Structure 1
Amino acid sequence: MFQIIGIVMLFAMVFGSYLMGGGKLDVIIEAAPHELMAILGAAVAAFLISNSMVVIKGTAAGMGKIFKGPKWKPADYRDLLSLLFLLTKTMKSKGVIALESHIEKPHESTIFARYPKVTHDHFAVDFICDTLRMMTMNLEDPHQVEDAMEKQLEKHHHEALEPAHALQSMADALPALGIVAAVLGVIKTMGSITEPPAVLGGMIGGALVGTFLGVFIAYGIVGPMATRLQAVVNEDGAFYKIIQSVLVAHLHGNAAQISVEIGRGNVPSPAQPSFAELEEALAQIPPE
């Protein structure tokens, strides 16, 4: 919502100030189509040249994240903590054997089935199950497990940020591509040097529109979108850090209730459930 408001304000403030200063939109409107074709066409071409298909698809999907915001909401963090509570409690009270059926086939698990949004996230499920599987194979050193989990998180986060970096690279290139479009306009103008000053002035003004559009789109639209996408990815990444903190706390010998409380403390403040809210959520879990 705020992103749409920001874009509307951007156009209103920039073009409003131009009109208030006595500027006329005729030159911009006339030059914009072919200038945008050169600038945006070249930017998209450079984007395709410099990125893999995975990053291209990720960037397309990331455009929705820019406007929708983070995937994980406060209720999802409560669900995740409840899921981890059930898994660690089962492991502690019933042993490794009772847990194996849940982590080997999580999509058939009665525990995972209670939290469908978490279960539909492939990385979250794999991250939980792979870590618990390591524990069932007697890898019980908390520091080793934490280190292994940290490497997985770093890899996932690095890959998730690639679309944002690709967008930022496009934003960095747009001012230079605007200059390219402007130079082409100047070349065209120089080829018509015998024309009257009024005609040459219009042609030079049209050429400068390319520089304006390149800078305007880069710093007003694409750059902020890249920053926003990076912020959303970072916020979503906190969800997976909770898994790490709870499972490592469990390995240190804490009770399931204490482990999820440690995880609750690491939930980002806007989405963090209170102690009472988490207690209520855990109390509402039906017995297995």
Structure 2
Amino acid sequence: MATYLDFEQRLKSLEEDIESASMRNDGVAAKVLQKELDNEINKVYSHLNDYQKLLLARHPDRPYALDYIELIMNDSYEIFGDRHFRDDKAIVCFLGKIENERVMVIGEEKGRGTKNKIIRNFGMPNPEGYRKALRVAKMAEKFGIPILMLIDTAGAYPGLGAEERGQSEAIAKNLQEFAILKVPTVSIVIGEGGSGGALAIGVADRLAMMEYSIFSVISPEGCAAILWNDPTKIEAATRAMKITPQELKKANLIDDIIKEPRSGAHRNRNQAAASIKNYFLESLEQIRSNPNFLNARYDKLMSYGSFKF
């Protein structure tokens, strides 16, 4: 059953009316209602505020990494473990093909349903997850295979065990090593991009965000708790933090915004997956056309935070 957010309730009502008209075989009414639904979708999604975009990024029906991997990859083979401690289910790694292009895909997976969410640790990786990501990235580099990374996490897991096993070192190591990988890399924020948990697989030749995703140094709830000592001021924090793709593109912190289906990726997974696939293949062609893409990556990374008086 589809989940509707507060601002989508009118859409829910119209869709139920269309379904009812179809069951009555009332084609005229269904056609009129469909036109009204299309107008309402355009109205709602053309005027979303930052907080509503945050809710869409966290939408329970939103496609996760494994959903996209299933839709865009063929001949895929999952790779497990970091060869040091254990396999972290919050990060998934697949070797396979996108169309005829060999590719390594690394994704953060939140999981669906209570049991699976617990197995996936709600998409919050431990250090062994980032070490697994680095291991398969190095494997891809060895065999000249490009890498696609799908970011979707509230943040790296902050538990005691994770800190004891070197969470900050694992993230820092990934930042360093991904910056110098000798293969083309593309990273896409598909939902939430939370702090170092996102950055650990976010250093790439191309960094893009889905239209209704977010990228932030801290959650809006955390920001509200720190600045106002009031976690309920989440809407004000969301506006102040500038975490939407449009704001980040304006600040030159991301390269591109990937257009989503009109009413969000959660309403049309196939179309959203096709957009990701096309963006990856187009970006790969552009990166390969530059024989000095490693220098271009370095220059881009070094430009972050620069400004002129």
User: TM-score normalised by the shorter chain: which range applies?
Assistant: under 0.3
- In our comparison, the structure showing a higher alpha carbon Rg is 1
Question: Could you say which structure has the higher helix fraction?
Answer: 1
For normalisation by structure 2, the TM-score amounts to 0.22
Question: Could you say which structure has the higher strand fraction?
Answer: 2
For normalisation by structure 1, the TM-score amounts to 0.23
Q: Highest relative contact order (Cα 8 Å, sep 6+), 1 or 2?
A: 1
